[in-house]
Structure 1
Amino acid sequence: MDRGSTKPSRMNHSRDSSAELEPGGIPLIDFSRTPSPSPYHRQLQNAISDDEDDYIPATLRPLVADSGDHGTWWRREFAKGGIGGFLYGTWLGWQVYVGLLVIWSIGVQFALVLMNRFILWTGTYKFPYPLASTWIQLVLTHIFLLITASITRAISQPLRKLGLSSIIAPSSPTSAQAGGSRAGAGLPRRILVGIFNSSGGIAGGGFFELEKRAIWTVTPLAVIYVGKVVLSNISYAYGALPLYTLSRIAIVPFTLILTATLTRASHSTSTLSSALIATLNLLGASIRKSERMTWESIVAGVFSTIFASLYPILLSKVHRQLTIAQVQQGDMLTSLSPSQVQPAHGSQNNHGTKESTRAYWQLLHYTSLLSILILSPLVLISGEVPNILRNCYFLDVPWFWFLCVCGGLASAAVFSTTLALVRATSPLTVNFIGVPRAAVQLVILSGGRLPVHAWVGVALCWLSSAWYLVTRREEGRRGEVRRMARAGR
């Protein structure tokens, strides 16, 4: 038999062997909406054919080795690009990344609820002033973001060696900002420029970085964020946890409607069924016959539902706008064109784009800073400050401020993680993970003393949540393979 006739046979044999070795793993969550800092998407483009919708390329199978490689699979995968190359560049690593991100997000959100419980209405040092408490948390959040950005710059070399350069905060302003800082003359102008356009800070433009275009872009998001946080804390301060959960029960249904209308996202029957059934079971678990109803908690919770549903959708949109704006300004940090900055293809290589990383830190900086500026006059108008000075005798107690610092740390973790989770999954998933978390909160914060119907609701809520995760994993795998197959034509 000649050599040409054996080539197809070898190709078929190779494909059969790859299919036998396929681990069968699928991504944890549907990540077809927005990219991670460095998703694996680019590896699929040249590896999938049009008629292989369910075929996962061998390059994405960590358990499949090249014929010339030796050693364990995890050593080979880590050798390709460190931890970052494994997490963002391999099929298994991407599942690990999203799974850890979801677990971390649920943990820090629960920690924030717990700290608000201690600060607002329990313990010796009760501080029932939700606006002032929120303002303190926002200020501490901004400080912790500054510290985190400085740490990433200080350990930038080890992070680059590990393949985690996408999390390093920028250390200098963009070319457009630097050019603007040189404009003008005179000592007062130079002093103001030195304050507002210096290097460092959170996003590389200094502590008080203020860029007009970025301010106009982020201001709507900051308004939504302030409304979400303030109304949520007001609802929590004036009602018990079951009532607080009931007043915000419509977040997932609202998110389904808004994602379908604003982003044109289509949801499958399984996704709709699992999400709504989990929400209804949480509703049943939160109902109490003898619960005292307070109109402040109910009204604030209902209105916070609107802001909480809009927040992840607008978060994804603003991040994309900031990324594109850098390219349009001529700040070509990587070879990326505006047409390439799309929700499903935002990564240029296996370690993300510098535009996307800078936009990430810019969004954190401007949202945090503008939120403080928006909330400050509301705190003064509300009259909480005189009441605090007149009634709070524990303002000099270290334990009280320790609780506030812990709350600010949890707030900073939630604030920064939400953006990463939106980019890795979808706005619907970001809001949905609050459903099983709320079910766990009901059990833990009540000390396990729940009525029978509440235990049934919690159990069914978690079963429905598992159904949701399995559905989204399968939809994400199939949708991503088909999309990359079309992109590789």
Structure 2
Amino acid sequence: MNSTRPFTRTAQKTFRKPLDFLNNLSRSAGQPSRSSNKKSDSYTGRRQNSQSSLDDTDHSDVEQYAHMESSRRSHSTQNSQSELQPAFPLIDIGSRSTSPYPRIRSAAQSEDEDDEYGPGSSIRPLVSHSAGRGGRWRGFWRQGGPGAFFFGTWIGWQIWVGLLVFWVGGCQFGLLLMNRFIMLTGIYKFPFPLTETYIQLLITHLLLIIGSSLMRFLSNVLHFVGFGAAVPPSHPAAPQGGAYRGSRKPGISAFVRWLSNGSGGIAGGGLFEFDWHVAKQVLPLAVVFVVKVLLSNFSFAYAPLPTYQLARIGITPLAIIFSCIMQKENFSGSTLSAALIATLNLFFASYRSDARVTWESVVAGVFSSLFVALYPILLLHTNRTLVAGLVPQGDVLTGYPSSAEEASNREETRAYYRTLHYTSLLSLMLLTPIVLISGQVTHIYHNIPFLDVPFFWAMMLFGGMGSWAVFAGTLLLVKSTSPLTATFVAVPRSAFQLAVINLFKIPAQSWAGVVLCWLSSLWFLVARRDEGRSQNRLRLEGR
């Protein structure tokens, strides 16, 4: 096309107007080619140099040639238009003319459009607008279900705490009824509180193992409803901690090693997971727990219910003192007044002038009050210590969480199950030699005739189930509220059980004490709720 050969005068005359016609056609189409531009420039210069000679051109030949060329070009354009039309318009980059083809929305869309409509606005939405009508229930499950509601909203969190209070208080009442039926009023009386406590703790540990395995089996369901934090870990926290490896030769030593440092169990480290460092941290809690349970059961076995409650009336005042000293907590005047007034009303409801009193049960009840008040504080402290050991740089969750993600923290879950596992395991290890040395096992084996009665072991099983429910629920309640709240739950529960166990046949002063105790408990509930709301507001403002 860019030939340098000179053109003759006749050729210039012949091709001048057809070339001008083609140049004008290309400009009108908005697609000038590089070769046509070069030709037009060269011929424009020559046209200026030979203007005088072009006037004598044979116009008839030029018009005939132009007519033939235009016919040929229009025919070829019609045949190839459908084949040569590209997916994107082939326009000159420097051209400012509008593209003849419709603009296709692609990755070249502007940033303003992305900000306004989102990254997926250029395509058909996955769910139409009409699909959301009537799908509020499905949307509730897609957004996290009950777990997101309980742990992600203030109203849901209050309902969750209320359910925990009802669960722990109800299970404590059921456990007291079972212990009363087993040791005092049942068909088969079993007045051996030490052995009975050991059997219940053994059943509690077995139920912890079964419950953890069931939680793992239902992990998909729990994650779907938003309770993924309840799924216990399946593997040890650190592989270098002596975890069982299948490459080792099988044998008794390998099996024992798997039991102590394998996988599964309660906390993910085997059925009998044991780490000396963690055991040292949990040992004080286990000692307090064993002494608390033993003294409480001993006092309950040798005293009537009003005397038992009077001997343990100082639990709430001691819990307030321990919380102020050990946790540096500052309680409002409403909280302190409500707690002390409810305790005083419980004293009036439980007081009996003609009650039978034995000094052993009173001493055991008084000393058990110290350990009962200390147990929730030490339980929370131990759990926080285990969390800090798992996540040295992390924050420990306290109180109302701001989102479901905080409640489903994996380290918090592992620390929770570790606290249960080591407390239960160390308690059994502490109680086993005491039970053997006491000689009660031999005496029971030779003198109790109903050991082969299924109903007796069914009662023991129900008592162990109550112990398991209280043991696992108390830690949840302490983590969700505070040690004082977990301790105070026993005050309205004691007033209620006093009326129920006596079949509502109590003196008038006792009824007045029960009613005033429940009203004071409602006052305590409102005061603690206001304190929790204020603390949550300050925490959010601090962010």
**Mapping 1:73-152, distance limit 5 Å:** 77-152=140-215
CA displacement at 1:79 relative to structure 2:
3.4
**Counterparts of 1:353 and 1:294, CA distance in 2:** 49
1:168 partner letter: V
Q: Is the CA contact (8 Å cut-off) linking 1:82 and 1:163 kept in structure 2?
A: yes
- In the alignment, does 2:240 pair up with 1:240? no
1:199 partner letter: S
- In the alignment, does 2:377 pair up with 1:313? yes
**Counterparts of 1:123 and 1:261, CA distance in 2:** 43
CA displacement at 1:391 relative to structure 2:
2.2
Q: Is the CA contact (8 Å cut-off) linking 1:138 and 1:368 kept in structure 2?
A: yes
**Counterparts of 1:386 and 1:179, CA distance in 2:** 39
Residue aligning to 2:51: none
Specify whether residues 316 and 273 from structure 1 end up closer, same or farther in structure 2 by C-alpha distance, changes over 3 A only.
Answer: same
**Counterparts of 1:308 and 1:292, CA distance in 2:** 24
**Mapping 1:50-69, distance limit 5 Å:** none
Q: TM-score, normalised by structure 1?
A: 0.80
Q: Give the secondary structure class of the aligned counterpart of 2:532.
A: helix
Residue aligning to 2:129: none
Residue in structure 1 matching 2:398, options 331, 343, 363: 343
- In the alignment, does 2:224 pair up with 1:161? yes
CA deviation map 1:120-168 (0-9, x unaligned): 1112200000000000000000011111101000111111111111001
Residue aligning to 1:42: none
- In the alignment, does 2:461 pair up with 1:411? no
Q: Which runs of 5+ in 2 are unaligned?
A: 1-131
**Counterparts of 1:342 and 1:412, CA distance in 2:** 24
Residue aligning to 1:435: 491
CA displacement at 1:341 relative to structure 2:
2.5
Q: TM-score, normalised by structure 2?
A: 0.72
**Counterparts of 1:435 and 1:283, CA distance in 2:** 10
Residue aligning to 1:36: none
Residue in structure 1 matching 2:410, options 341, 349, 354: 354
Specify whether residues 188 and 388 from structure 1 end up closer, same or farther in structure 2 by C-alpha distance, changes over 3 A only.
Answer: closer
Tell me which moved more, 347-356 or 99-108: 347-356
**Counterparts of 1:454 and 1:304, CA distance in 2:** 24
Specify whether residues 398 and 277 from structure 1 end up closer, same or farther in structure 2 by C-alpha distance, changes over 3 A only.
Answer: same
Tell me which moved more, 70-79 or 86-95: 70-79
Residue in structure 1 matching 2:435, options 374, 379, 387: 379
Residue aligning to 1:225: 289
**Counterparts of 1:73 and 1:308, CA distance in 2:** 46
**Counterparts of 1:152 and 1:75, CA distance in 2:** 24
CA displacement at 1:275 relative to structure 2:
0.1
CA displacement at 1:347 relative to structure 2:
7.9
Identity, in percent, stands at 49
Q: Is the CA contact (8 Å cut-off) linking 2:346 and 2:495 kept in structure 1?
A: yes
**Counterparts of 2:138 and 2:523, CA distance in 1:** 34
Q: Is the CA contact (8 Å cut-off) linking 2:391 and 2:411 kept in structure 1?
A: yes
Specify whether residues 177 and 298 from structure 1 end up closer, same or farther in structure 2 by C-alpha distance, changes over 3 A only.
Answer: farther
CA deviation map 1:207-256 (0-9, x unaligned): 11101111111111000000111100000000000011011110000000
Q: Is the CA contact (8 Å cut-off) linking 1:203 and 1:365 kept in structure 2?
A: yes
Specify whether residues 247 and 344 from structure 1 end up closer, same or farther in structure 2 by C-alpha distance, changes over 3 A only.
Answer: same
Specify whether residues 73 and 304 from structure 1 end up closer, same or farther in structure 2 by C-alpha distance, changes over 3 A only.
Answer: farther
Residue in structure 2 matching 1:285, options 349, 353, 366: 349
**Counterparts of 1:448 and 1:72, CA distance in 2:** 49
Q: Is the CA contact (8 Å cut-off) linking 1:78 and 1:86 kept in structure 2?
A: no
Q: Is the CA contact (8 Å cut-off) linking 2:289 and 2:427 kept in structure 1?
A: yes
1:133 partner letter: E
Residue aligning to 1:392: 448
**Counterparts of 1:455 and 1:177, CA distance in 2:** 61
CA displacement at 1:479 relative to structure 2:
1.9
Residue aligning to 1:66: none
Specify whether residues 344 and 281 from structure 1 end up closer, same or farther in structure 2 by C-alpha distance, changes over 3 A only.
Answer: closer
CA deviation map 1:419-459 (0-9, x unaligned): 00001000000000100000001001111111111111001
CA displacement at 1:71 relative to structure 2:
5.8
**Counterparts of 2:140 and 2:379, CA distance in 1:** 32
Q: Is the CA contact (8 Å cut-off) linking 1:215 and 1:366 kept in structure 2?
A: yes
CA displacement at 1:183 relative to structure 2:
13
Residue aligning to 1:474: 530
2:261 partner letter: N
Specify whether residues 478 and 117 from structure 1 end up closer, same or farther in structure 2 by C-alpha distance, changes over 3 A only.
Answer: same
Q: Give the secondary structure class of the aligned counterpart of 2:157.
A: helix
**Counterparts of 1:375 and 1:408, CA distance in 2:** 16
Residue aligning to 1:322: 386
Structure possessing the higher radius of gyration over alpha carbons: 2
1:106 partner letter: G
**Counterparts of 1:90 and 1:165, CA distance in 2:** 17
Q: Is the CA contact (8 Å cut-off) linking 2:399 and 2:479 kept in structure 1?
A: no
2:511 partner letter: W
**Mapping 1:10-25, distance limit 5 Å:** none
CA displacement at 1:342 relative to structure 2:
5.3
1:385 partner letter: V
Specify whether residues 138 and 378 from structure 1 end up closer, same or farther in structure 2 by C-alpha distance, changes over 3 A only.
Answer: same
